[in-house]
């Protein structure tokens, strides 16, 4: 679907829009500041007027150990007759912690010269992934319809100097590759930041060479998303959640020719750490991007079935904790593996079942088979009718990365996600060369024709629920890799040549 078609499909009835705008005008919001864009309305007013409109009071919240303040409120109110028509108002209860936070990077460490010279069973470089997944060299040219997007949040900046040095060592046939940077919501491009940029550097250093001859854009998005306190993040005024809403609004405003074909995201948090209204709003926007031909990839997380495994709804119930956005049924969640012969599920690979989003029809048969195999194990600890994830997997351990002039080794589904992004980008290249549209939303295809292009991972398991003091102690908490779908690796890892053949012969993707 094109941009205008999506907007028209989602727009509320004029009567509903008119009621919201009439309320704004009754509160003396200047007509010139009210902007209606499909099912979103934006406006600008002074804080004092916002307090009157929302029946609340805003305060300056000072974050401990930071030189910043945030003007926010802990709650707000709108007229009762408008409740059914307003999903959320932002920013109101959204807080930001300006300290850099780790995404899904797992234990980065400096590497030795021996490790740099070691084989693929010890360290991973792009050539290891090309050999393992059968990624052939291609002769494609950069194409605007196949732009590769890489998300940058939490003050992670992709460094050009590190990127160029990495290519000289490990992607010598791609030394002319580059990426542009787009700022969203005040996001920066700080090439001399004193903080590490391991995540951003990992993302560009693996996705771009594996994609091969692609227009790449790093979307640097500033700010923080809202947070619901939980045992691992008890302070409601401190958030390390990503500002997905701001990025999504920007991307959806772009004309079709400027949208990325693939969007790689190596970030996420516990599903319960975000307000339900925010979860539903952002997941709906991910669906809109998918409808416009964007393949959206997210790491499945690095906590196995959950981190603290304690619910934050006041019950303190022991429960496996799914991650978001991986749990959104309109994104493709990427789990993790390690080892070459055989390839196994890595213990930190995140997976499970959403507590918010129901299981979509496209994965119903695959997930039901796993649940039958699981039987009564873990009853009461997960939502058996929720969206299951991940959707596929790739290598996720011992990646060599260049950061701030040093060679380091990292792991996590932060590593597997850009690998899959590069592969999907190549599949798009093959389809576009045949005059076919890009892949777009991947999951219905992956769970049908595409699954024969994956290597089923049947060894290994994930672990969780015992990572920090205060966590719920669930003995042997884990998901096992099995034949068919499982919440560790799904059906497995990519077979590039088979996937290209399947995608190129399918006119209905």
Could you list the active site residues? 199, 203, 414
- Measured distance CA(348)–CA(319) in Å, rounded: 17
- Measured distance CA(153)–CA(337) in Å, rounded: 25
Instruction: Please write down the HEC assignment for all residues of 416-485.
Output: HHHHHHHHHHHHHHHHHHCCCCCCCCCHHHHCCHHHHHEECCCCEEEECCCCCCCCCCCCCCEEECCCCC
- Measured distance CA(245)–CA(223) in Å, rounded: 10
- Measured distance CA(485)–CA(456) in Å, rounded: 8
Contact 193, 201 (CB under 8 A): no
Contact 295, 287 (CB under 8 A): no
- Measured distance CA(167)–CA(212) in Å, rounded: 12
What count of residues does the chain have?
509
Those residues whose C-beta lies under 8 Å from the C-beta of residue 352, and which sit 6 or more positions away, are 305, 306, 320, 321, 322, 323, 327, 382, 388, 389, 479, 487
Contact 157, 190 (CB under 8 A): yes
Tell me the HSE value of 117 on the side-chain side, using a 13 A CA sphere.
3
- Measured distance CA(351)–CA(301) in Å, rounded: 7
- Measured distance CA(336)–CA(247) in Å, rounded: 26
Tell me the HSE value of 365 on the side-chain side, using a 13 A CA sphere.
6
Quick one: tokens of 12?
Answer: 């509320």
Contact 312, 439 (CB under 8 A): no
DSSP bridge partners of 454:
494
Report DSSP state, residue 359.
P
Cβ burial of 280 (10 Å; 0-12, 13-18, 19+) is middle
Quick one: tokens of 330?
Answer: 């309109």
Note the Cα 438 to chain centre separation in Å.
Answer: 20
Please spell the DSSP secondary structure of 232-286, one letter per residue: TB--TT------HHHHHHHHHHS-GGGS-SEEEE---EEGGGS-HHHHHHHHHHH
Residue 407: phi, psi to the nearest 5? Answer: -95, 130
């Amino acid at each position: 679907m094109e941009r205008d078609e999506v907007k028209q499909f989602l727009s509320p009835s004029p009567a509903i829009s008119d009621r919201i705008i009439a309320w704004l005008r009754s509160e003396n919001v200047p007509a010139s500041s009210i902007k209606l864009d499909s099912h979103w309305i934006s406006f600008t007013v002074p804080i004092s007027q916002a307090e009157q409109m929302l029946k609340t009071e805003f305060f300056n919240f000072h974050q401990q150990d930071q030189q910043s303040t945030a003007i926010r409120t802990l709650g707000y109110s709108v007229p009762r007759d408008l409740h059914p028509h307003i999903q959320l108002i932002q920013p109101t209860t959204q807080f930001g912690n300006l300290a850099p936070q780790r995404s899904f990077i797992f234990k980065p460490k400096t590497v030795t010269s021996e490790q740099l010279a070691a084989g693929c069973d010890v360290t991973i470089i792009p050539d290891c992934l090309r050999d393992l997944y059968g990624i052939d060299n291609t002769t494609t040219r950069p194409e605007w319809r196949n732009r590769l997007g890489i998300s940058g949040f939490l003050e992670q900046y992709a460094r050009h100097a590190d990127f160029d040095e990495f290519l000289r060592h490990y992607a010598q046939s791609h030394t002319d590759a580059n990426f542009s940077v787009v700022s969203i919501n005040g996001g920066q491009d700080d090439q001399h930041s004193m903080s590490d940029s391991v995540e951003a550097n990992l993302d560009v250093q693996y996705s771009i060479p594996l994609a091969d001859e692609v227009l790449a854009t790093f979307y640097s998005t500033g700010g923080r998303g809202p947070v619901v306190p939980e045992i691992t993040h008890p302070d409601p005024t401190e958030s390390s959640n990503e500002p997905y809403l701001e990025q999504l609004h920007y991307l959806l405003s772009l004309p079709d020719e400027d949208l990325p074909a693939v969007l790689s995201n190596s970030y996420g948090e516990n599903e319960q750490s975000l307000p339900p209204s925010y979860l539903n709003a952002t997941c709906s926007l991910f669906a809109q991007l998918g409808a416009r031909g964007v393949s959206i990839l997210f790491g499945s997380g690095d906590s196995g079935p959950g981190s603290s495994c304690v619910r934050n709804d006041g019950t303190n119930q022991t429960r496996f904790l799914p991650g978001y956005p991986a749990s959104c049924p309109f994104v493709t969640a990427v789990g993790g593996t390690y080892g070459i012969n055989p390839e196994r599920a890595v213990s930190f690979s995140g997976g499970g079942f959403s507590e918010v989003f129901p299981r979509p029809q496209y994965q119903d048969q695959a997930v039901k088979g796993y649940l039958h195999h699981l039987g009564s194990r873990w009853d009461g600890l997960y939502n058996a009718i929720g969206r299951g994830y991940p959707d596929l997997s790739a290598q996720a351990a011992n990646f060599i990365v260049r950061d701030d002039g040093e060679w380091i080794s990292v792991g996590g589904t932060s590593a597997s996600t850009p690998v899959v992004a590069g592969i999907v980008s190549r599949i798009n290249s093959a389809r576009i060369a045949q005059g076919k549209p890009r892949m777009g939303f991947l999951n219905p295809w992956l769970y049908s024709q595409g699954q024969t292009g994956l290597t089923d991972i049947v060894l290994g398991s994930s672990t969780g629920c015992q990572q920090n003091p205060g966590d719920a102690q669930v003995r042997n908490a884990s998901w096992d890799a099995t034949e068919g779908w499982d919440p560790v690796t799904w059906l497995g890892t990519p077979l590039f040549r088979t996937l290209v053949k399947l995608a190129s012969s399918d006119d209905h993707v």
